[in-house]
């Protein structure tokens, strides 16, 4: 292929991938890795001098920390010291190699904070410079002169998120070419390389979430300030430190959704005390307190989102599950929680039903590991029947791949007795001087399902 056509194809690929990029690592990534190299073991280190070249790699990344790649590489080395003619070894002069193969790329530390320089069309690209630390290894066919050999390499590098769609960073590599034929010089060639890696990616796997509150920056009104999941306006992504605006911070407010009534009687707890306490002339009936278990419908704002066609609870969402565990531990009156799994609209109905149930089951396993009694947990999968966001946009599909947490059974304390038994505590404040309602809003925020049939294996895309 003419050199101009090859360069044009590479440039076109970079442009196409850059235009689709939304996060540092994409579903498809192209890596260009120019480098300088040095042979470090004899006799090759005596025959050849410093070399230069590079590799091009095309990676498919099914997850945030792993990708599979195909690669092609070429290196050329300067002429070194001529061998002793008495050894019967021909002077090779300048040398080189070509390699083609495949391998795997790992990202043990993968940032999703966006790019340092924003030039794209979506504001959530803006972020920080750090991209990811990567490791990769390849094995393949190597051609050196007229000989066919086996080669393998391993590399480590750091990618910096310079600007939308482009990452640049240093890397180091070790390459070994296996000598399989020579009896005179049977030693393998070992090469150490260093250079810069240029990477572009397309089809984002992980949208940016700079504040780590589980809401992607595209839908987060406060992308740099994490939401406080307390059951009040938690969909906007902004923290509300005093939900009821009674000047008592929520972390000290026993009734964060009901404002205090400043009447000089127990005004420090954040809860209103209407009735006899305010009106001493009203007789106080003799009462007693009983406990009753009642059905409830309290949807928590801790929500876990999932990768496409995946049921694993990702590490970044586990703090939200930990918040649910803390809420259950802190409120023994919450007797049972239901974990509700959902899927987006892609794939067959049977597959999405199985996938949503599996997501709920996986979330329940994490919650149990954090210490919540399994007897207080139940799971259900709704498939694609209860979408949170309409449409097929990337945002809508992301929002619908989720697990919700809902309190469905509570133990309430009910006052009874006296000349006229007081009515049970209601979810709605009663009129007049009666006692205030107990809200369903929390102050803070099994087993293997049968897999689908083979005909239902069409997954979310």
**Which CATH number do you get for residue 305?**
3.30.1330.60
Are 113 and 15 in the same domain? yes
Number of domains in the chain: 2
Are 7 and 137 in the same domain? yes
Are 9 and 99 in the same domain? yes
CA 317 to CA 66: how far, in whole Å? 19
Q: What does the pLDDT read at residue 21?
A: 34
Q: Is residue 389 part of a domain?
A: yes
Angle between helices 349-369 and 318-330 (to 10 degrees): 60
Q: What is the pLDDT along the chain (461 residues), one digit of tens a residue?
A: 455 545 555 544 443 343 333 345 667 889 999 999 999 988 788 778 899 999 999 998 887 788 999 999 999 998 766 666 665 555 666 788 999 999 999 988 776 666 667 665 444 445 567 778 899 999 999 998 888 899 999 999 998 877 777 889 999 999 999 987 665 567 888 999 999 999 887 644 445 566 666 666 666 678 777 776 766 666 677 777 666 677 777 777 777 767 777 766 776 777 876 654 444 554 555 667 788 889 999 999 899 999 999 999 999 899 999 999 999 999 999 999 999 999 999 989 999 999 999 999 999 999 999 999 999 999 999 999 999 998 888 888 999 999 999 999 999 877 766 544 444 444 443 343 333 333 333 333 333 333 444 344 444 43
Structure tokens at 422: 């007081």
Tell me 32's DSSP state. Answer: E
- Domain boundary (158, 178, 204) is at 204
Q: Can you give the pTM of this predicted structure?
A: 0.44
CA 364 to CA 143: how far, in whole Å? 53
Q: Is residue 388 part of a domain?
A: yes
* Range list of H helices, 340-452: 349-369, 394-400
Q: Is residue 293 part of a domain?
A: yes
Are 29 and 157 in the same domain? yes
Q: List all residues 6 or more positions away from 37 whose beta carbon is below 8 Å from its beta carbon.
A: 50, 51, 52, 53, 75, 77, 175, 191, 192, 193, 194
Q: What does the pLDDT read at residue 435?
A: 35
Structure tokens at 354: 């199985």
CA 116 to CA 163: how far, in whole Å? 6
CATH code where residue 160 lies: 2.40.160.20
Q: Is residue 250 part of a domain?
A: no
Are 68 and 160 in the same domain? yes
Q: What does the pLDDT read at residue 283?
A: 56
Are 24 and 141 in the same domain? yes
Which structural domain, as residue segments, surrounds residue 198?
A: 3-82+95-204
Are 318 and 192 in the same domain? no
- Domain boundary (170, 204, 238) is at 204
Q: What does the pLDDT read at residue 277?
A: 47
Q: Is residue 461 part of a domain?
A: no
Q: What does the pLDDT read at residue 310?
A: 92
Q: What does the pLDDT read at residue 145?
A: 81
Are 162 and 291 in the same domain? no
Q: Is residue 223 part of a domain?
A: no
Q: What does the pLDDT read at residue 335?
A: 92
Are 193 and 295 in the same domain? no
Q: Is residue 104 part of a domain?
A: yes
Q: What does the pLDDT read at residue 453?
A: 42
CA 253 to CA 441: how far, in whole Å? 13
- Domain boundary (143, 178, 204) is at 204
Are 44 and 176 in the same domain? yes
Closest CA to 93 of 85, 102, 103, 81: 81
Q: What share of the chain is helix, strand, coil (3-state, %, to 5)?
A: 20, 35, 45
Q: Is residue 225 part of a domain?
A: no
Q: What does the pLDDT read at residue 412?
A: 83
Q: What does the pLDDT read at residue 113?
A: 60
Q: Which residues of 86-107 are buried (b: 16+ CB within 10 A; e: fewer)?
A: eeeeeebeebebebebebebeb
Closest CA to 193 of 76, 30, 321, 328: 76
Are 317 and 408 in the same domain? yes
Are 34 and 170 in the same domain? yes
């Amino acid at each position: 292929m003419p050199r101009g056509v090859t360069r044009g194809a590479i440039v076109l690929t970079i442009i196409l991938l850059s235009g689709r990029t939304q996060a540092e690592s994409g579903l498809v990534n192209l890596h260009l890795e120019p480098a300088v190299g040095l042979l470090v073991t004899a006799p090759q280190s005596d025959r050849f001098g410093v070399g230069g070249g590079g590799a091009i790699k095309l990676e498919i990344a099914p997850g945030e920390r792993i990708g599979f790649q195909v690669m092609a590489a070429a290196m050329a080395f300067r002429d070194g010291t001529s061998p002793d003619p008495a050894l019967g070894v021909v002077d090779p002069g300048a040398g080189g190699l070509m390699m083609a193969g495949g391998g795997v790329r790992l990202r043990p530390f993968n940032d999703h904070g966006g790019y340092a320089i924003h030039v794209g069309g979506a504001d959530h690209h803006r972020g920080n410079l750090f991209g990811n630390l990567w490791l990769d290894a390849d094995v393949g066919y190597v051609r050196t002169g007229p000989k066919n050999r086996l080669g393998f390499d391993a590399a480590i590098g750091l990618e910096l998120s310079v600007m939308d769609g482009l990452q640049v960073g240093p890397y180091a590599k070790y390459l070994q070419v296996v000598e399989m034929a020579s009896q005179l010089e049977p030693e393998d060639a070992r090469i150490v390389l260093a250079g810069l890696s240029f990477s572009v990616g397309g089809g984002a796997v992980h949208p940016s979430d700079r504040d780590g509150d589980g809401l992607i920056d595209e839908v987060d009104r406060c992308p740099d300030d994490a939401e406080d999941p307390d059951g009040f306006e938690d969909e906007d992504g902004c923290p509300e430190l005093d939900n009821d605006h009674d000047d008592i911070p929520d972390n000290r407010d026993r009734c964060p959704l009901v404002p205090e009534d400043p009447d000089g009687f127990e005004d420090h707890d954040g809860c209103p005390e209407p009735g006899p306490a305010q009106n001493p002339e009203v007789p106080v009936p003799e009462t007693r307190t009983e406990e009753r278990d009642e059905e409830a419908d309290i949807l928590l704002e801790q929500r876990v989102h999932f990768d496409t066609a995946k049921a694993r609870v990702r590490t970044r969402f586990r703090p939200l599950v930990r918040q649910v565990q803390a809420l259950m531990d802190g409120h023994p009156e919450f007797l049972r929680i239901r974990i509700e799994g959902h899927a987006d609209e892609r794939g067959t109905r049977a597959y999405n039903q199985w996938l949503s149930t599996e997501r709920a089951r996986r979330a329940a396993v994490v919650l149990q590991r954090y210490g919540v009694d399994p007897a207080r947990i139940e799971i259900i999968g709704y498939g694609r029947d209860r979408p949170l966001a309409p449409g097929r946009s990337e945002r809508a599909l992301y929002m619908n791949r989720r697990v919700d947490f809902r309190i469905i059974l509570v133990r309430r304390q009910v006052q009874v007795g006296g000349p006229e038994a007081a009515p049970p505590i209601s979810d709605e404040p009663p009129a007049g001087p009666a006692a205030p309602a107990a809200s369903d809003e929390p102050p803070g925020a099994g087993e293997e399902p049968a897999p689908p049939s083979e005909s239902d294996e069409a997954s979310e895309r």
